[in-house]
Amino acid sequence: MAATVERLTTELVVPAEETPAGAVWLSNLDLAARRGYTPTVYFYRADGRPGFFEADAVRDSLARALVAFYPLAGRLGLDGAGRVQIDCTGEGAVFVTARSERYALDDLLPEFVPCDAMRDMLVPATPAPNPPCPLLFAQLTRLRCGGVVLGLALHHSVVDARSAAHFVETWASIARGDAAAPVPPCFDHRLLSARPAPRVLYDHPEYKPEPAPSAALSAAAGAGSAYASAIITLTKAQVSALKARCAGASTFRAVVALVWQCACRARALPHDAETRLFSMIDMRARLAPPLPPGYFGNAVVRTSVSATAGEVVSSPVGYAARRALAATSQGDDYARSLVDYLEGVDAMNLPRSGISRAHLRAISWMGMSLHDSDFGWGAPAFMGPALMYYGGFVYVMQAPGKDGAVALALSLEPESMPEFRKVFAEELARLEI
Burial classification of residue 375, based on how many CB atoms lie within 10 Å of its CB (0-12 exposed, 13-18 middle, 19 or more buried): buried
What gap in Å lies between CA 224 and CA 316, rounded to an integer? Answer: 31
Active-site entry in 156, 166, 189, 359: 156
CA dist 197 to 187, 194, 291, 339, 342, Å? 24, 8, 21, 12, 13
Question: What is the CA 295 to chain-centroid distance, rounded?
Answer: 17
DSSP three-state, residue 278: strand
CB atoms within 10 A of CB 403: 7
Angle formed by the axes of helices 236-244 and 417-431, to 10°?
A: 80
User: Is the CB of residue 122 less than 8 Å from the CB of residue 5?
Assistant: yes
Closest-CA residue to 408 (of 146, 172, 113): 113
273 vs 7, 243, 264, 268, 313, CA distance in Å?
48, 27, 10, 10, 12
Please say if 374 is a catalytic residue.
yes
Amino acid identity, position 345: V
Q: Are 169 and 57 in contact (CB under 8 A)?
A: no
CA dist., res. 43 & res. 148, Å (int): 6
Catalytic, 47? Answer no
| CB-based contact 415:223 (threshold 8 Å) | no
206: closest CA among 308, 334, 298? 334
Query: Where in 136-239 does DSSP place strands (E)?
Result: 136-142, 148-155, 228-234
User: Residue 374: exposed, middle, or buried by beta-carbon count in 10 A (0-12, 13-18, 19+)?
Assistant: middle
- Whether residue 39 is preceded by a cis peptide bond, meaning omega within 30 degrees of 0, is no
Q: In 3D, which of 433, 410, 432 has the Cα closest to residue 421? A: 410
Catalytic residue among 60, 107, 188, 374: 374
User: Which residues belong to the active site?
Assistant: 156, 374
